[in-house]
Amino acid sequence: MAAALASASIVFGDKVEYSATLVRSAKAIYSFAEAMSTKMKSSEHWDDLIWGGAWMYYATGDNTYLAKVTSHDLAKRAGAFSHGPRYGVFGWDNKLAGTQLLLTRLRLFLSPPFPYEDMLKTFHEQTSIVMCSYLPYNTKFNRTKGGLILLNHGEPEPLQYAANAAFLATLYSDYLDASVTPGWYCGPSFFKTQVLRDFSTSQVDYILGKNPQNISYVVGFGQKYPKHVHHRGASIPKNKKVTCEGGWKWKESSNENPNTIEGAMVAGPDKNDGFHDLRVNYNYTQATLVGNSGLVAALVASSRGGGGLDRNGLFSAITPLSLSPDPET
C-alpha cells in the first residue's frame, strides 16, 4: 500500500495538495510496516519493505529511505543473495526482481555516491542475472513446446508471471538504451538489448494467440478466446439478485458467460500448452487483477518501441543535494 500511494503521488504530482496527502499516508503506512516487520520471525515479505522503501525515496527524496533500501542486512533478509528456484520471479508475493530493477534505474541515471553505490551496484548485477535467466539458452526455467516460459515451474496459472517478466525485460532494455548501453553480459557472453525485447514479444504473442491452442488468453481479443471465464461479473446474468450460495449454479453452469469481460487475461495453459475452457477450473480460466496488471504493463512498455522512456519524471522529488551522503555516514 505504501508503494502504491507513493508511486501515485508522483503520477499526480501536478495536483499538489492531493499528491502531498498521498505521501503523508504512504509515510504512515510504511512506518507501520516497519514496526510490524520487527515481529516477523521468517524472511517472508521483507522484499516488500525494499519495494515500498524504494518508492518512498522516489516520492520524497528523503535519503533515510535510500539508506534503508540499500542496507545489506535488509537485502539479505529479502533473499537478494539466495538465488533459489523463485529468484527472478516477479509476482504478487515476491517483489524482489522488480525492486532490484527499480533501484538499477537509480544507479544508471543518477549514479548515487558511496555508501549507496555499493548495494545499488549489487542490485544492478542481480538484475542482469535475472535477465539472463529469462533467455532461451538458460536452463533455470523450463519452457513449454509453444515457447511459454514457466517461471512458476509448471504450477498452474503461469501467464501472470510470464507477463511480468515480459514487462521487466522490456523496461531493462529501455534503461540500457537510455543510458547508451548496447547490452549486458551473461557470464562471458554479451547480449544486445534487442534480445530482451524479442523475449518480451514472444511471451506477449503467446498470450495473444500465437500458441499451440491458437487461442487468445485475453477475453474479447482475436477470433478465439475463453468463453467460460471464472469470474462472477462475467458468469452471472445481468440484473439477477443472487445470494452467495445461489451463485454456485452459475459457476457450475456449462453455458458460456452471459457477459464478456473485455480485456481480461485468464490464468492460462498447463505446462504442456494444454487448456480447458472450464469455469469450474480456475487454474485455467480465472481472471485476476494481479495477472492483468502485468499484461497491461508489458503492453505499454512494448508499445513505446524503446523510444518513450521518461528519464527524469520518476526523480522529480530528488535533488542533487539529496543524493549526497548523510553527514552521519
CA dist 89 and 134 (Å) reads 10
Phi/psi of residue 224, each to 5°?
-130, 125
CB 148 within 8 A of CB 166: no
Which residues are known catalytic residues? 230
Phi/psi of residue 144, each to 5°?
-75, 165
The candidate with the shortest Cα–Cα distance to 75, out of 124, 141, 11, is 124
The C-alpha cell that represents 268 in the structure block: 492460462
CB 318 within 8 A of CB 191: no
CA dist 205 and 212 (Å) reads 12
CA dist 291 and 152 (Å) reads 13
Output the DSSP codes for 135-196.
STT--SS-B-TT--B-TTTT-S--HHHHHHHHHHHHHHHHHHHHTT--EEEETTEEEEHHHH
- Is 94 exposed, middle or buried (CB count within 10 Å of its CB: 0-12, 13-18, 19+)? buried
How many CB atoms neighbour CB 180 within 10 A? 7
Q: Going by C-beta distance under 8 Å and a sequence separation of 6 or more, which residues neighbour residue 235?
A: 228, 229, 250, 251, 253, 257, 258, 259, 279
Residue type, 238: K
- Is 109 exposed, middle or buried (CB count within 10 Å of its CB: 0-12, 13-18, 19+)? middle
DSSP 8-state class, residue 282: H
CB 216 within 8 A of CB 222: yes
